[in-house]
Structures are given as C-alpha cells and as structure tokens.
Amino acid sequence: MTHVEHTAAKVVGPAQRPTDAPVLLVSDVRIVREGLEQALLRRTVRVTAVDAEQLWHALRIRRAFEARVLVVDLSMERALVLARAVMNAAPEVRIVGFAAADGEVELMAGVEAGVMGFVSRSGSVDELVSAIDCVDRGEAVVSPRVTAMLAQRLARIAAPVAKEYTPEQLTPRELEILTLIVDGLSNKEIAVRLCIELATVKNHVHSVLQKMHVRRRGEAAARHATHRVRT
C-alpha cells in the first residue's frame, strides 16, 4: 500500500524513543483515526491512517505493503479478521492492537490473529508509540496478566490428552496381571503367583501399558484403581 510520509513538527519529550518504522493506522472511527494520526505525527512516527474498507480494498487488489507496523483499532467489529488477513498477505508486517479488551478470550483471539502488541482502552499515546517501537524490533508487548494466560494456554496445549480406558480393553490375563500390579506385586512375584515365565509377565505388562496409554506400572495401577472407584 502506498505510504504517504509526513514530517512531524517536533519531538515531544526527550525520554520518548520514536520509531522509524512506517506505520499504517486502521480505525473506522474518524475522530479516533485522525486524532491518533496527528498525535503520532507529533511524536515523529511516520504514519498513514485509513479505515477498514480502504485496507480491505488494498488486500483485494493485492497492493503492496510499505508499512512495517500495522496499528489496528480492536474495537472494530471485524478487527481480528482484518489482522489475520494482513498476517496472511504480508507476514513480515508486525501488528499492534489498541483499544484492546482485557478478557482472556479476546486477548487469546488477538494473539492467534497475529497481534504482537496490545494497548488497552485506558492506554496512552506514549504507550502506543512504545508498543509500535517494540514490535518493530520483533518484541511482543503484553502485560504480565496476558503473559500468564499465554503460559497457561501453552501448557494446556502441550499436556497429553488422557484417552479413555476401560478394563474391557484388556484380555483376561492382562486384567489379572494388572490387578496384581495394583496389589503391589513385582513382575517376578506375579510370575511366581501365576506360574508363568518372567518374560511372559513382562510382555503382558508392556501390552497393558500400551492399551492404557501410560508409560509406567504405577500410572497403570493408579488409573485402574481410579476406574474401579468410579464404577
């Protein structure tokens, strides 16, 4: 998308670190769009402001992006759909969302749509400038609360899903051996109790572990004992 460069009148505040990234600002609310554009220009951010329809049109005709950072008004109805479309069309573009809700569902949906930085509804223009600068360097901008939610989400994704187990999946001999495992007998003790070879016990135990989707005898015993309590 053709980027119109602007020259800012002055730098506000010596502590501010203005970004040199060309920025595309998207909002359907004209007063928000124009107000933020002017505020960013005063901080020497090279910004062009458009509404969602203008950006959709650019995506439809496959116009090239010159912006390195896309700043999206997350209060727009289809903001995340738009963000995902930009991510697919130009994966090198970093995305910042402002006016972000603080709910877990909304924030996780934003992350999945490619948003790297969030500025809340109560955030300031300076926070937005900082977020633009950070994502342009490849850094995510999220609060400690969002970081914790992301960690919990990843942990849930990484956790193995326990498959359903019923004793009917085992042969009579496997179930007999599993019962003895629950009683605390070792493989050798099971072999003596059932008058079978130790190697045969080991083969049955291996089969039991596979069918129960566990790795250790103790896990199998615990799962079988839990099933008996439930039934």
> What number of other Cβ atoms are within 10 A of residue 153's Cβ?
15
Q: pLDDT tens, 121-174? A: 888 999 999 999 999 998 888 777 667 777 776 666 655 545 666 778 889 999
Q: pLDDT tens, 81-130? A: 999 899 888 889 999 999 987 777 777 788 888 999 999 888 899 999 99
Q: Quick one: tokens of 95? A: 């995305």
Taking each helix axis as running N to C, give the angle between helix 79-89 and helix 104-112, from 0 to 180 degrees, rounded to the nearest 10: 20
Whether pLDDT at 4 is above 60:
no
Please provide residue 124's backbone torsions phi and psi, each rounded to the nearest 5 degrees: -100, 170
Which sign, positive or negative, has the C-alpha torsion 148, 154, 158, 163? positive
Which regions of 38-160 does DSSP assign to beta strands (E)?
47-50, 69-73, 94-100, 115-120
Q: How far is CA 48 from CA 3, 11, 37, 124, in A?
A: 7, 18, 7, 19
Q: pLDDT tens, 177-192? A: 998 988 888 999 999 9
Percent of the chain with pLDDT over 90: 44
The overall average pLDDT reported for the chain is: 81
Q: Quick one: tokens of 147? A: 């970081």
Contact 66, 19 (CB under 8 A): no
Q: Three-state SS for 210?
A: helix
Query: What is the homologous superfamily of the domain 23-158 according to CATH?
Result: Response regulator (3.40.50.2300)
Question: What is the H or E stretch that residue 74 is in?
Answer: none
The residue extents of the domains of the chain are 23-158, 167-230
| Structural fold of domain 167-230 | Arc Repressor Mutant, subunit A (1.10.10)
| Nearest-angstrom CA–CA distance, 134 and 18 | 11
Whole-model pTM above 0.75? no
Contact 128, 96 (CB under 8 A): yes
